[in-house]
Amino acid sequence: MAEQLYHFINGTRVNGTSGREGDVFNPATGEVQALCPYASAQEVDNAVQAALAAQPEWEATAAPRRAAVIFKFRELVMKHTDELAEIVGREHGKTIEDAKGSIQRGLDVTEFACGIPHLLKGELSTNVGGGIDTYSMREAVGVVGGITPFNFPVMIPCWMGVMAIACGNAFINKPSERDPGAPLFLAELWKEAGLPDGIWNVVNGDKEAVDALIEHPDVPAISFVGSTLVGEYVYQAGTARNKRVQSFCGAKNHLIVMPDADMDQTVDALMGSGYGSAGERCMAVSVAVPVGQDTADELVKRLEPRVRTLKIGPYNDPAADMGPLITAQAKERVEGYIDQGVAAGADLVVDGRGASLQGYEDGFFVGGTLFDNVTTDMSIYKDEIFGPVLSVARAESFDNAVEMVNGHEYANGVAIFTRDGDAARTFSDQVDVGMIGINVPIPVPMAFHHFGGSKRSKFGDTQMHGPQSINFFTKMKTISARWPSGIKEGAQFTMPTNR
C-alpha cells in the first residue's frame, strides 16, 4: 500500500486538505510507493503565516547561536546519511553512492553557513567628515521561498535553505512533487537540531503551490532551480511583483577535447560526467567536442566499448553505474530525442533505447547512448535532454570549438581537456559560460565559491552559495552617525559632502 505523505508546517506534519495529490514512483520498478499531497494557495498561506510569526525572533537570535543550530543539523545529516541516501535512491533512482555524494555537497554548504557570524560582518568608516561615522549592517529579507528540483532533493534545499536561515530568514521549501521524501526528512532533522518551529517549512505541490509563493505579498524572495522554461516564468512573474528572484536553469555543457589531451583521462571524465546519475544533472556533460578528425576518431573509438558496457540497475545495486530515469515520461522523452537524432542524420554509435532488466521490466531505464557526427542544427545538440545521451560534435579547430560553445543559448558549465596552458587560458578568456573546468569535467565550485551560469542558464544577478548568497538573502542598511561634541554649524541647506 502506498505511503501517504504530508506537508511540514510550523514544526508539525500536516495532512493535505486540497483534495489533490500525485503519485511518487519507485523508478526501478515503476510501482507507486507514495502519494504526495498538492497544496492549495490556502495551505501555502498557512506556511507563510507560520514563517512570518517565527522569523523576527529567529533573526534577533545572535548569529553564533544560529550557527550552533546549523552545526547540530550538520551532525544529524551526517548521522542519517544512509537513510537519506536510501530515500533519494528509492524515489529518484540514482545509485546509493551517487546519492551520498550529492548529500555531501549539501553538507559542504552547511559547513560554510556555520561561519555566518563572519559572513554577516558589515563595514565601518570612521570620521568620514565632520565627526560622522558611517557603517553598514545586513538584515534578513524575511520569508524566502525555495523551489527545488527532483534531481538533487537534499543538496539543493541545503544550498538554498541553509544559507537563507543562516542569514536570519524563514524558509519555505516547495520540493519536486516527484521525490519529496528527502526534503520532508530534512525538516524533521531541523526540528531535532533545535530550529524554532516555523523557520523551515515544506509545502508539497505543483504549479498552484509555486504560483501561491510567487504571488504572496509576504514572500519577498524566491530561489529556484529547475528547467529553463519554468525558471524564466518564475523570474518574470516574481520580479513583476518586485520580488528578488534567482533562477538557475537548464544547460548543454560541452567538453572540448584538444589533440594533446590525455585521452585516457578524457574518456574517464566523459563517462562519469555524461552518464553519472543517468545524465539527470544540470552540470552533466552532454556534448563532447573533439578538435580535429584524428582526435574525434580516437575519442569515439575509445568511448564506444565503454558506453556499451555501462551497467544499469536499481539504486541499491552496488555494481550499477547508473539507475533509471525519474518517471516513465522522462524515459519516453529521452528515447524520443534519440529517435530525433537518428532522423536528423546523426550516427547512432550506441543505442540505449529499449533497455530492460530481469525483475525490473517496468522500470524507467534507458541505456547509455552515444551519437557521433552531431551538428549544431540538430535537436539533440540544441536541447537539454536530461538523460544518458552523449553527443560527439566534431570541431575543425580550436576557434570552431569556441564558436560552438558561445553560439549555444545555454551557458551553465564547460570544460576543456588539454596539456597546453596557453590554450586553456585562452579558452577561459573567450567562452561566455558561468563555470569552466580545465581538465575537470564537472566544474561545480566548492561551497565557499559561487555556482551559476549565464545566458539562458540563469536569470537574476546573484549566484548560488558562496559570499554572493549573503547578498541575495540579506538587505543592506547604511547608517551615518554623529554624536554631540560641541560642534555648532547652524542649518545647512546644500547637499552634504565631506568638505
List the domain boundaries for the chain: 3-249+457-479, 253-438
Name the stretches of the chain with pLDDT < 50: none
Same fold, 3-249+457-479 and 253-438: no
Edge-first strand order for the sheet with 3-4 is: 3-4, 31-37, 21-26
pTM of the model: 0.96
Catalytic (active site) residue 167: no
User: How is residue 358 written as a grid cell?
Assistant: 530481469
Say how far apart CA 98 and CA 324 lie, in whole Å.
13
Taking a C-beta distance cutoff of 8 angstroms, is the pair 108, 478 a contact? Answer: no
- Fold designation for 253-438: Aldehyde Dehydrogenase; Chain A, domain 2 (3.40.309)
Q: Could you give the C-alpha distances from 297 to 303, 394, 401, 430, in angstroms and in order?
A: 10, 9, 16, 26
CA angle 402, 407, 409 (to 5 degrees): 130
Number of other residues whose CB lies within 10 A of the CB of residue 19: 8
- 3-class state of residue 355 by DSSP: coil
Point out the catalytic residue in the list 114, 158, 249, 282: 282
Number of other residues whose CB lies within 10 A of the CB of residue 67: 18
User: How is residue 401 written as a grid cell?
Assistant: 570549438
% of the chain at pLDDT higher than 70: 99
Helix orientation angle between 398-406 and 421-430, rounded to the nearest 10 degrees: 30
Taking a C-beta distance cutoff of 8 angstroms, is the pair 416, 211 a contact? Answer: no
Q: Could you give the C-alpha distances from 71 to 184, 206, 439, in angstroms and in order?
A: 19, 32, 34
User: How is residue 415 written as a grid cell?
Assistant: 570544460
Taking a C-beta distance cutoff of 8 angstroms, is the pair 231, 248 a contact? Answer: yes
pLDDT score of 487 = 65
Half-sphere exposure of 345 (CA within 13 A, CB side): 4
Say how far apart CA 43 and CA 7 lie, in whole Å.
9
Output DSSP code: residue 195.
P
pLDDT score of 495 = 80
Taking a C-beta distance cutoff of 8 angstroms, is the pair 201, 174 a contact? Answer: no
What are 356-373's pLDDT values in tens digits? Answer: 899 999 999 999 999 999
- 243, with CB counted inside 10 A (0-12, 13-18, 19+), is buried
Q: Could you give the C-alpha distances from 54 to 171, 408, 463, in angstroms and in order?
A: 11, 45, 27
Q: Which CATH architecture has domain 3-249+457-479?
A: 3-Layer(aba) Sandwich (3.40)
pLDDT score of 490 = 75
CA angle 197, 7, 43 (to 5 degrees): 90
What are 229-259's pLDDT values in tens digits? Answer: 999 999 999 999 999 999 999 999 999 999 9
